[in-house]
Amino acid sequence: GAVVSQHPSRVICKSGTSVKIECRSLDFQATTMFWYRQFPKQSLMLMATSNEGSKATYEQGVEKDKFLINHASLTLSTLTVTSAHPEDSSFYICSARTSGPLSYNEQFFGPGTRLTVL
C-alpha cells in the first residue's frame, strides 16, 4: 500500500526558533499533499493544500507567513513553523494523494510530528 513518512516524529524547540517538518511519500508520487493540525483529543484541522511545483493554498485563519509550505518534488513536502511560540505546540500530520490509479480519492496519512515549543 501507499506509505507516507514524516520526520521528525517529535521535536522540542525554544520559543522564537523555526522548525521544519518533512513529509514524504515513499512508494508513490504525491501530486497533492495536505497539512493538518490536531490538538489533543480533537479533530484534524486542515491547514493547507500543497501541490507540487506551485504555491500552497491555505485555509482561512492559517497564517501563510507563519507556516511555510514547500512542495519541491512529487515525493516531498515540508512545513516550516517560523518563530514558533508555545501556542504552536501541537500534533502536525501530513497526508498525500495521487492522481494515478492507486486511488484517486484516498488520502494516505503520515504518522505525525509532535511539536513542543518551550
Partner 1 sequence: GENVEQHPSTLSVQEGDSAVIKCTYSDSASNYFPWYKQELGKRPQLIIDIRSNVGEKKDQRIAVTLNKTAKHFSLHITETQPEDSAVYFCAASINWGNQFYFGTGTSLTVIP
**Rounded-to-integer distance, Cα 66 and Cα 26, Å:** 27
**Rounded-to-integer distance, Cα 49 and Cα 27, Å:** 20
Sign of the torsion formed by the C-alpha atoms of 53, 57, 58 and 63: positive
The answer to the question of residue 109 lying near partner 1 (CB under 8 A) is: yes
Q: Scanning residues 7 to 26, which ones bind partner 1 (CB under 8 A)? A: none
Match 522540542 to its residue by C-alpha cell: 12
Q: Which is nearer to partner 1, 15 or 42 (CB)?
A: 42
Q: Which is nearer to partner 1, 22 or 109 (CB)?
A: 109
Among 55, 63, 111, 118, binds partner 1 (CB under 8 A): 111
**Rounded-to-integer distance, Cα 115 and Cα 85, Å:** 10
Q: Scanning residues 45 to 64, which ones bind partner 1 (CB under 8 A)? A: 45-46, 49, 59-60
Among 25, 32, 75, 113, binds partner 1 (CB under 8 A): 32
